[in-house]
Amino acid sequence: MRIELESPNGDVIIESDVIAQFAGLSAIECFGIVGMATVNMKDGFVKLLRGDSVSKGVNVTVGENNAIAIDFHIIVAYGVSISTVAENLMSTVRYKVEEFTGMQVEMINVFVEGVRVID
């Protein structure tokens, strides 16, 4: 999926994978998040994603008027408040993505796929 923005100097095209990668990297910087997760639908297993594959735990859709909706599948650290981590993730990612793209983030959904003890 592509996002096309028109400006007086020309057109800007942003791939949704770029936004997903940026949002994933912004999310793993938040306190309490161990990493992104991917769920194997066939087996129901959750896999922790690290490094370059963080965008696989992020789904980006673009609606009308280039409004962005982002779904995160995350694994949180044991012993932290899930609601606090989710609120921090939403506010941090919303700010960073809006500054990065210049577009409005309409909705952020957080799916907690697991809890892990940090070593």
Instruction: Convert the pLDDT of each residue in 91-114 to its tens digit.
Output: 999 999 999 988 899 999 999 988
Tell me if 88 sits within 8 A of 30, measured CB to CB. Answer: yes
CATH number for the segment(s) 2-116:
3.30.70.1350
pLDDT of residue 3: 75
pLDDT of residue 106: 95
Q: Average pLDDT across each block of 10 residues of the chain; the chain has 119 residues. List them in order.
A: 80 88 91 82 57 78 88 93 96 95 93 86
Cα(105)–Cα(60) distance, rounded to whole angstroms? 10
Q: What is the pTM of this model?
A: 0.83
- Residue ranges of the domains in the chain? 2-116
For 105, phi then psi, to 5°, come to -90, 110
Cα(38)–Cα(12) distance, rounded to whole angstroms? 30
